[in-house]
Amino acid sequence: MHLCQETPADWWEVETLYDLCFAPGREALSSYRLRDGVAPVADLCLVLRSEDGIAAAIRFWPVCVGGAEVLLLGPIAVHPTHQGEGLGGWLIRESLSRATELGWRRVLLVGDEPYYSRFGFERLSNVIMPPPTNPARVLGRALVKGAWDGIAGQVEKFGQMLEK
């Protein structure tokens, strides 16, 4: 496996991987509305390549919560032929390390707490994703001690706070 930053030429291959791994209509989820028209954080969008193509991919997007910049992790996917090999964990650990190095303070995702808790994510009861998100699946991780302290409210599209 070779880890590298996603390039514009990878976009459609990554999108095909997401289509393969997620249910139809994934773009209707609230997290996609937050990404619409916003560029991903390119330095953190990573792919793992095998000799057969992209085996796994992760993307990050900027959002705002209570006026604070937050990284929204997702989607992350591992090709079915490579699931169970630890590739998702590798991508999460590597991307969070890079996010810290780049000066990001906090990360948000919508996901399964038992899985993501092993990477330091925990439920954010004061952070509200747009509906129809299940509040129990709104998870966060501070990349800097105390980075989530006092951060609460609705998750908003990046730049929306600046336009108000």
pLDDT tens by residue, 93-134: 999 999 999 999 999 999 999 999 999 999 999 999 988 889
CATH node for 2-163: 3.40.630.30
- State the CB neighbour count (10 A cutoff) for residue 99: 21
What is the model's pTM? 0.91
pLDDT tens by residue, 14-45: 999 998 888 766 665 667 678 788 899 999 99
**φ/ψ of residue 99, rounded to 5:** -60, -40
User: Which residue type occupies 32?
Assistant: Y
Tokens of 79: 């090709």
Domains of the chain, by residue range, sit at 2-163
Please tell me the distance from the alpha carbon of residue 7 to that of residue 138, in angstroms, as a whole number: 29
